[in-house]
Structure 1
Amino acid sequence: MAEKRLVNNSPEDVQSDDVLSTYTHVYSPDLLSGQVAFITGGGSGIGFRIVEVLMRHGCDTVIASRNMEKLSEAARKLSSVTNRRCLPISMDVRQPESIIAAVEETLKEFGRIDILINNAAGNFLCPATSLSFNAFKTVMEIDTMGTFNTSKVIYDKWLKDHGGSIVNISATLGYRGQALQVHAGSAKAANDAMTRHLAVEWGPSGVRVNTVAPGPISGTEGYRRLGGSHAETAGMFHSIPLQRAGNKTEMAHTVLFLASRAASYVTGAILVADGGAWLTSANDVERLLGIHSSRSAKL
């Protein structure tokens, strides 16, 4: 009997926060030509790759977070490989005044904002009984309030009169309840609801609002914290229909689709990009609590 071979059509990626050494365009290289994207938390992880892929399709970008040093290094790397402008701006999504200043600077530099990617997030593994009130509040402020704050400012200052696309980065944590993630799961569930509400209210202004919900994605902090490389070696991803973890480039391609004219009639959608993981993978409470216990013992 012939050995079964899995087909892996995943695009090129690198584990670190570095640009791709090669890139194959899945859409026309000028798909986003002349457009400007504003990305929160674009200095590392999935956000970094999203910015790179948007720029490789003709888009100029603004990356905004609190860590200006990381942003400046990321912007240098991204501009050098894409020949597009990438402007780093220090901003805190929890502070509307900070967002207003960042958006005004963006409009002064580029004259427009066509795409908003709400990628900024805060997360860590913690059982609910050990979670402080302030820790829960902080995650809600970054993930949920931050998404609303940034969306509202950019809508009021530009999208309301010019249209555009908003893509929120969510997660599948809240779909069935996951141990150690009540804070992040609650925040992302609120964001999924926000996506639908804003899609309804802002649709008449020509603004599309959608969400991407990634699953286990290699080369990310979340993947490392949940023992992703060990899980992959141990064959734990065999329960995923596509039999593997995803990568950051795949998430960037999903965002590219929703942000571009390829999805011109798509709004209010929650697009799960997890290889089918949430449908079939075990919600392994014992393993997750074990990860937390072993790490607590080392502290």
Structure 2
Amino acid sequence: MTARHDFHGRTVFVSGGTSGINLGIADAYAAAGARVAVMSRNAERVATARAQLARHGGAVLGLVGDVRDAARVKQVLTEVHAQWGVIDVLVSGAAGNFLARALDLSPNGFKAVVDIDLVGTFHVLRAAHPFLRQPGASIINISAPQSYNPAPMQVHACAAKAGMDQVMRVLAMEWGAQGIRVNSIVPGPIEGTTGLAKLASDAARARMAQRVPLGRLGRMQDIAVMALFLGSDEASYITGALLPVDGGISLLGARNHALEEDTP
């Protein structure tokens, strides 16, 4: 997976990088030789992820922090910069989601997802700016189909991800002159992730796989490969882009992301 990419001497930071898609991305960068720092609010997951990444033989940092805490995010990024210098690739992947009809969703429930996905992303990107390689840095947001496809029972995620992608576009415009690229990856249904298991039953996942034009659910390495590309010099003229990695399911419209039939 990493044969085309050599990230030796480069620094990569991944928020939410201790599980799922984000850990897969961090692992791919570590395998490609990068120094990799991951941040999560769960200390046990941080320790486990750090041990996994260290098996590649490179430098690894595992830091505890919550993206909703702007001051802590700044502390974490300051520490990464103090140890390793400028950050070459920043992946913002911390997220939260659950299923709830709009009328059953509490204000706190709505706010929790927006605070993690949207506000948390802004905290990470804003705090990272002075520590990014200029020119040459690549910022990669991990978005979701809910950014552009309305999904019943996910009004909170739809609002948060749509906002996050607008942040991406604005920063691509504002920071482009400094040579900073900002893009979003939109994963489709990815097997083996906690998120998909939480949002869809086994039967729903099977139906979803049948609807994907390429005939299967995605794999975590499918997203990692795109992240490696966006972090590389090969993507030096790509910014402000929303890049689906979804087997073509987004071509079929919003109803293919609706899971309400599987929820009581």
User: TM-score, normalised on structure 1?
Assistant: 0.84
Identity of aligned residues (%): 38
Question: Which of 86, 92, 103 matches 1:118?
Answer: 92
**1:52-97 residue CA offsets vs partner (Å, 9 max, x unmatched):** 00111111111001111111111111111x1112211111111111
Q: Is the 8 A contact 1:240 1:281 kept in 2?
A: no
Question: Which of 244, 252, 265 matches 2:237?
Answer: 265
Partner residue, 1:138: 112
**1:159-185 residue CA offsets vs partner (Å, 9 max, x unmatched):** 275541100000011423111111011
- Give the stretch that moved more between structures: 160-169 or 245-254: 160-169
Partner residue, 2:144: 171
User: Aligned partners of 2:177, 2:254: CA distance in 1, in Å?
Assistant: 41
Counterpart of 2:21 in structure 1: which amino acid? I
- Give the stretch that moved more between structures: 119-128 or 272-281: 272-281
User: Aligned partners of 1:284, 1:44: CA distance in 2, in Å?
Assistant: 25
Q: How does 1:63-212 map to 2 (within 5 A)?
A: 63-80=38-55, 82-155=56-129, 157-159=130-132, 161=134, 163-212=136-185
Number of aligned positions between the proteins:
264
When residues 182 and 232 of structure 1 are mapped into structure 2, their CA distance, relative to the original with a 3 A threshold, is closer
| 1:44 and 2:19 aligned | yes
Aligned residue for 1:283, secondary structure, equals: helix
User: Aligned partners of 1:117, 1:89: CA distance in 2, in Å?
Assistant: 15
Q: Is the 8 A contact 1:42 1:64 kept in 2?
A: yes
User: Aligned partners of 1:45, 1:146: CA distance in 2, in Å?
Assistant: 18
When residues 228 and 216 of structure 1 are mapped into structure 2, their CA distance, relative to the original with a 3 A threshold, is farther
Counterpart of 1:290 in structure 2: which amino acid? E
Counterpart of 2:51 in structure 1: which amino acid? R
| 1:277 and 2:246 aligned | no
Counterpart of 2:186 in structure 1: which amino acid? A
1:238 positional shift: 2.4
User: Aligned partners of 1:25, 1:112: CA distance in 2, in Å?
Assistant: 22
User: TM-score, normalised on structure 2?
Assistant: 0.94
1:279 positional shift: 1.2
When residues 244 and 73 of structure 1 are mapped into structure 2, their CA distance, relative to the original with a 3 A threshold, is same
Q: Is the 8 A contact 2:200 2:259 kept in 1?
A: no
1:236 positional shift: 4.1
Partner residue, 1:255: 227
Q: Is the 8 A contact 1:99 1:150 kept in 2?
A: yes
Unaligned runs of 5+ in 1: 1-23, 294-299
- Structure of higher CA gyration radius: 1
1:144 positional shift: 0.5
**1:212-263 residue CA offsets vs partner (Å, 9 max, x unmatched):** 0011000111211233643354x54222210111011111111111111110
| 1:221 and 2:198 aligned | no
Alpha-carbon RMSD across the aligned residues, in angstroms, is: 1.8
User: Aligned partners of 2:173, 2:114: CA distance in 1, in Å?
Assistant: 23
1:281 positional shift: 6.0
Aligned residue for 2:151, secondary structure, equals: coil
Counterpart of 2:245 in structure 1: which amino acid? A
Counterpart of 1:135 in structure 2: which amino acid? G
Q: Is the 8 A contact 2:175 2:181 kept in 1?
A: yes
User: Aligned partners of 2:201, 2:216: CA distance in 1, in Å?
Assistant: 10
Partner residue, 1:292: 263
Aligned residue for 2:153, secondary structure, equals: coil
Counterpart of 1:256 in structure 2: which amino acid? L
1:290 positional shift: 3.4
Unaligned runs of 5+ in 2: none
